[in-house]
Copies of this chain bind each other. A is one copy, B any other.
Amino acid sequence: MNEIKLFCPATIANISCGFDVLGLCLDNTGDEMLVRKTKKKGVRITKIIGQELPLETEKNVAGVAVLAMLKETETDYGFEIEITKKIKPGSGIGSSAASSAGAVFGVNKLLGEPFSLNELVKFAMKGEELASGAPHADNVAPALLGGFTLVKGYDPLEVIKLHSPKEIYATVIHPQIEVKTADARSVIKQTIPLKKAIIQWGNLAGLVSALYTEDYELIGRCLHDEIVEPMRSPLIPGFHKVKEAAIAAGALGGGISGSGPSIFALSKGKETAEKAAKAMAEIYKDFGVDYDIHVSKINTEGVKVL
């Protein structure tokens, strides 16, 4: 195999009570990527369609992730990568993660899969470090493993793929407003009341249990973020109205996708997820804010070979 074409999925991180640990992988929203073996060693980004992003390997998240990987293996050939970006950077659905995850997945395939998916997470995190200054796994873990993923911890890094209930659909709305990552971070207080932390981990533990038992109503009752949503939601105009509209339309619950501005809802069944989409869109129509909207089942595979 000298060339591979990939679907690099968008992802939702910081799923409500699972701030910094729980993410999921979308199925029909993502980038495309071509990875090709070359005689010349190293890795080059040869083309990016759809967004203005740096082609220099060291300045591109896909390039940096692959460089980290190639440091740990011997090859006598190299790689070139073409990316068709469909996920908008800054949308809060893992645009940089899709590129980092796709690139290491593709190169690993062409190398004959010397690395496990869990090992690839570590390399893809180098791309996230370039994009955001912090080597987090929130989006690259679900992009690589698929389904619902838990970043159990970083010391050592351990990522766990949880059970995905078959009928869960995600709705994500991306209002065309800018939330600066610096702002999304600076509003987060670094100490929190123990009481609220206990409520949060009770909800998260309930949510994980509900994923395994496929208890959709319980999933809904656990989708509450006591800690971060109250701090970040003021940065997203109309957040509460959009979330409430989704729930009123039948969604189980929702929250901020990543660090925003996208807002997600989870529903049982495609029909309800589409009703939620309509209701969420209605709010931004009233506000006169442009938006993209996605309805997707959970992608339990992660990055896919096309």
Contacts and interface: CB of A to CB of B under 8 A. Distances in A.
Number of identical monomers bound together in the oligomeric complex:
2
Nearest to A190: B194
A206 B163 contact: no
A20 interface: yes
A201 interface: yes
A195 B20 CA distance: 10
Interface stretch (A151-159, A262-270, A292-300): A151-159
B21 A198 contact: yes
A130 interface: no
A283 interface: no
Interface in A72-88: none
Given A198-B19, A198-B21, A158 B205 contact: no
A191 interface: yes
A218 B19 contact: no
Contact of A208 (B193, B198, B208): B208
B206 A204 contact: no
B208 A209 contact: yes
Contact of A209 (B150, B194, B200): B150
B199 A153 contact: yes
A62 to B, nearest CB: 27
A96 interface: no
A70 B197 CA distance: 35
A45 interface: no
Given A152-B221, A163-B212, A201-B204, 14 more contacts: A21-B198, A150-B206, A152-B202, A152-B222, A153-B199, A153-B203, A158-B206, A191-B192, A191-B194, A194-B227, A197-B197, A200-B201, A205-B207, A208-B208
The 10 A-B residue pairs whose C-beta atoms are closest, nearest first, are A152-B206, A212-B212, A201-B201, A197-B197, A208-B208, A21-B202, A20-B198, A191-B191, A205-B208, A153-B202
15 contacts: A20-B198, A22-B205, A152-B222, A153-B199, A153-B206, A158-B221, A162-B209, A189-B194, A190-B193, A190-B195, A191-B191, A191-B193, A201-B205, A204-B205, A208-B208
